[in-house]
Amino acid sequence: MKKAASIFLRSEITKQDVLRMSGWMKNPDVTRFLNEHAAISGALCTLAETTPEPILAMRLNANGRFFIVSLHSGEPIGYVSLRPAREEGTREIVVVIGEESLWGHGCGARAIRLALGECFLRRDARINRVVATIHREHTRSIRLFTHAGFSRAEGVGECLRFVLSREAFLSRGQSAQPTRQALCEAGR
């Protein structure tokens, strides 16, 4: 893996961010393992064109928390979604690094750590578990989530489900420390 880029999660979402996401959704290498409908790119374009910018974040956060993964320059490179799962106190995480040139640079791993901090370290978060549903053939993502501390819980059809509890996250002190530091730097 190459040197990890310095990234952060931002909750402010601009029209340009949504248009960039639309572009990523046109790339079959990005969407190959995502559970998105074929018209998602067009739907994102329509959202960007018809929704006032201050409302974009509200629309994208309608089903949970949504963050743009950004380089410290502010350039969007991906997104993280944390949606409520069926089980109380559980969130399902989706991480997408849309900029192919940054694959293998540690951006996905860093985005996962930051998202887990949002789930487990914020005072207002009452989340006990985070789950990830990953396509069986997406070995890079499986390695990434396993390295982040997730354990395989079950497999159904083409997908595997991985889980990380708050207790397991907090017991991995080396993973939590950079996340706490990042949250402090972001003023949370």
* All residues at 6 or more sequence positions from 84 whose CB lies less than 8 Å from its CB, including other chains: 63, 64, 90, 91, 92
Domain count, the chain: 1
Residues in the chain: 188
Residue whose entry in the numeric block shows the structure tokens 């489900």:
161
Position 35 pLDDT exceeds 90 = no
Full domain range(s) for residue 60: 7-185
Give the span between the Cα atoms of 179 and 83, in whole angstroms. 20
Give the span between the Cα atoms of 77 and 20, in whole angstroms. 9
- Asked whether the beta carbons of 24 and 128 are under 8 A apart, the reply is no
Name the more confident of 42 and 35. Answer: 42
Position 71 pLDDT exceeds 90 = yes
- Asked whether the beta carbons of 105 and 5 are under 8 A apart, the reply is yes
CATH number at residue 40: 3.40.630.30
pLDDT band at 61 (very low <50, low <70, confident <90, very high): very high
Position 151 pLDDT exceeds 80 = yes
Give the span between the Cα atoms of 92 and 174, in whole angstroms. 23
Name the nearest CA neighbour of 100 among 27, 172, 173: 27
Domain for residue 123, yes or no? yes
- Asked whether the beta carbons of 98 and 79 are under 8 A apart, the reply is yes
Domain for residue 1, yes or no? no
**Mean pLDDT of all residues in 45-71:** 94
pLDDT score at 186: 46
